[in-house]
Amino acid sequence: MQKLNRRSFLRVAGGVTAGSFLGANVRSLASAQTAPATPVAANDHIQIALIGAGGQGQGDTRTAVQVPGVKLVAVADCYDGRLEHCKELWGNDIFTTRDYREILTRKDIDAVIVATPDHWHKQASVDAMRAGKDVYCEKPMIHLYADGPEMIEAARATRRILQVGSQRVSSVVYAKAKELLAAGAIGKLNLVTAHWDRNSSMGAWNYTVPLDASTESCDWPRFLGTAPQIPFNAEHFFQWRKWKAYGSGVAGDLFVHLFSGTHFITGSHGPTRAMATGGLRFWKDGRDALDVMVGLFDYREGFNLRLCVNFVDGGEESEGLIFTGSEGTMEIAYNTVSIARSPRRKDPGYTTGTFTDAMQKRLLESYRQEYPLTHSSEAPAAEYEKYVAPEGYSDSYDHFSNFFAAVRTRQPVVEDAAFGYRAAGAALLGNLSMDRGAVVGWDPDAMKLA
Ligand SMILES: NC(=O)c1ccc[n+]([C@@H]2O[C@H](COP(=O)([O-])OP(=O)(O)OC[C@H]3O[C@@H](n4cnc5c(N)ncnc54)[C@H](O)[C@@H]3O)[C@@H](O)[C@H]2O)c1
């Protein structure tokens, strides 16, 4: 690993503009989004459809259609109000349906965004790839472990592009963090600590149920799919994250983001062992997903990952990752990455004050013989560097740009099915460990429970 001195550190930061903030070096990261968009030839336009038009699906689509040469032509969803709103957003010309298979038979659609609840990710993605469509599938890629191999195989057999939607993998902030770690900015990585603290009802997934929610406006059987067949329940429909039948709790919703970020930055395939604990401490509203979860994961690259998520935080909401290395720490917080280093002093120091005066004097004399008082024995100055994404930067835009570039060129995406399965498979180890009350093993290369 290349050792990083101050000069090479600045070189690593090449392509950024230097600034100054409270004595720290703050640099703005370069982003392609500030460059004028290159026009796309008409025959290179991509027509897309959205499957699952809720919060994320609508947000994804808003971003996707900003990428030059991308047009939305159809939307499938199980709640009529969302289909109507999509027409309000994107015009009456878009085709809408409750049944996504009607979209897949259309020849004018090149790619689909799958933003359904997790328990539909595999089926909708596999059906779309078999129908010849490229797929942008939201995270977590899987709901059940069995989904992973099936999706990987479908992408391989159909030669379709499958991008999983953990947008951080395309972020300029995460790219800078990856570059800094590889250049030795924090020395040898020992520990990654990631947390996500929430303090609101929305943060705890209590999303609004529309006033017209009923078996008329909602296609309940289609929403349920392979989930247990229970009578219509509007909370299950609109707040599905709270039940394991449709989502996978904190692990699938949030751990997975922290795993994809960690795997992208470190280049690791994933953990080999996991243990998790937690509980339902605050939101005792009938959900079966936890609101506090802590997971510990072993990586054979020689570091541990510690993840903490809680929806019970009475303090400030926050989210971030800290990479602790032998020579410093690297912190990712929102759209910034910073490095803090307090280099160790060269002499070991001493603790003599409890000994007799005579002993203290003799020890100090012998210490100074071994470590003369020079500048080199003083503690080196701490260093701090911070990199900030440009104002308004969107990693989702970059993630979609990467997807659509792959749709055009047939080159690999940044987050293919194997990457997506390794991140989601690692995240679900947390639930497995909780269920079994035991440490669980995972082979990150073979992508199998061990
Ligand atoms: N990348 C991110 O940062 C991010 C953020 C939020 C959500 N997500 C992911 O996006 C997905 C959707 O989450 P959301 O918050 O938008 O949920 P949501 O409940 O708001 O929307 C899901 C929509 O899917 C529809 N749906 C359900 N079954 C369907 C089917 N068989 N066919 C077509 N439509 C169907 C529902 O009617 C609903 O409108 C989840 O997998 C979630 O993990 C990702």
Collapsing DSSP to helix, strand or coil, 324 comes out as strand
- Using the Cα atoms of residue 51, residue 132, residue 253 and residue 334 in order, give the sign of their dihedral: negative
Give pairs for 221-226: CB < 8 Å, separation 24+.
Answer: 222/78, 222/98, 222/99, 223/78, 223/117, 225/119, 225/120, 225/123, 226/119, 226/123
| C-alpha 411 – ligand 1 centre gap (Å) | 27
For residue 140, the ligand 1 atom closest to its alpha carbon is 43
- Contact call for residues 45 and 71 (beta carbons, < 8 A): yes
Compute the average pLDDT of residues 90-114. 98
Atom 8 of ligand 1, residue of closest alpha carbon: 56
Q: What is the mean pLDDT of the chain?
A: 92
Compute the average pLDDT of residues 61-77. 98
395 C-beta closer than 6 A to ligand 1: no
Name residue 449's beta-bridge partners.
Answer: 442
Pocket test for ligand 1, best of 60, 61, 63, 78 (most atoms within 8 A of CB): 78
N-terminal to C-terminal alpha carbon distance within the chain? 31
Compute the average pLDDT of residues 369-377. 80
223 C-beta closer than 6 A to ligand 1: yes
Say if residue 170's pLDDT is above 50.
yes
Q: Which of 278, 275, 320, 277 lies closest to 298, judged by CA?
A: 275
| C-alpha 39 – ligand 1 centre gap (Å) | 31
Percent of the chain with pLDDT over 90: 86
Q: Which two tokens stand for residue 167?
A: 């947008």
Say if residue 160's pLDDT is above 70.
yes
Collapsing DSSP to helix, strand or coil, 82 comes out as helix
Say if residue 411's pLDDT is above 50.
yes
78 C-beta closer than 6 A to ligand 1: yes
Query: Confidence band (pLDDT; 50, 70, 90) for 207?
Result: very high
Say if residue 346's pLDDT is above 70.
yes
- Contact call for residues 261 and 174 (beta carbons, < 8 A): yes
Cα separation of 430 and 417, whole Å? 20
Q: Note the pLDDT of residue 14.
A: 34
DSSP designation for 33: G
Q: Which of 143, 165, 122, 115 lies closest to 246, judged by CA?
A: 143
Atom 7 of ligand 1, residue of closest alpha carbon: 56
Query: Confidence band (pLDDT; 50, 70, 90) for 19?
Result: very low
pLDDT tens, residue by residue, 277-336: 999 999 999 999 999 999 999 999 999 999 999 998 888 889 999 999 999 999 999 899
Q: Note the pLDDT of residue 108.
A: 97
Collapsing DSSP to helix, strand or coil, 374 comes out as coil
Cα separation of 47 and 94, whole Å? 11
Collapsing DSSP to helix, strand or coil, 175 comes out as helix
DSSP designation for 255: I
Q: Note the pLDDT of residue 2.
A: 34
Of residues 8 and 338, more confidence is placed in 338
| C-alpha 237 – ligand 1 centre gap (Å) | 10
Q: 296 vs 219, 252, 259, 306, 393, CA distance in Å?
A: 40, 16, 12, 5, 32
pLDDT tens, residue by residue, 428-444: 999 999 999 999 999 99
167 C-beta closer than 6 A to ligand 1: yes
| C-alpha 53 – ligand 1 centre gap (Å) | 7
Q: Note the pLDDT of residue 374.
A: 77
| C-alpha 57 – ligand 1 centre gap (Å) | 6
Atom 33 of ligand 1, residue of closest alpha carbon: 77
- For the chain, domains (ranges, CATH) are 6-33+169-343+380-394+417-449 (3.30.360.10), 40-168 (3.40.50.720)
138 C-beta closer than 6 A to ligand 1: yes
Compute the average pLDDT of residues 126-130. 98
Of residues 7 and 96, more confidence is placed in 96
Q: Note the pLDDT of residue 11.
A: 31
The pTM of this model reads 0.92
Q: Which two tokens stand for residue 103?
A: 């979209």
419 C-beta closer than 6 A to ligand 1: no
Contacts of residue 201, defined as CB under 8 A and 6 or more positions apart, other chains included, come to none
Q: Note the pLDDT of residue 24.
A: 61
Pocket test for ligand 1, best of 63, 77, 202 (most atoms within 8 A of CB): 77
Say if residue 214's pLDDT is above 60.
yes
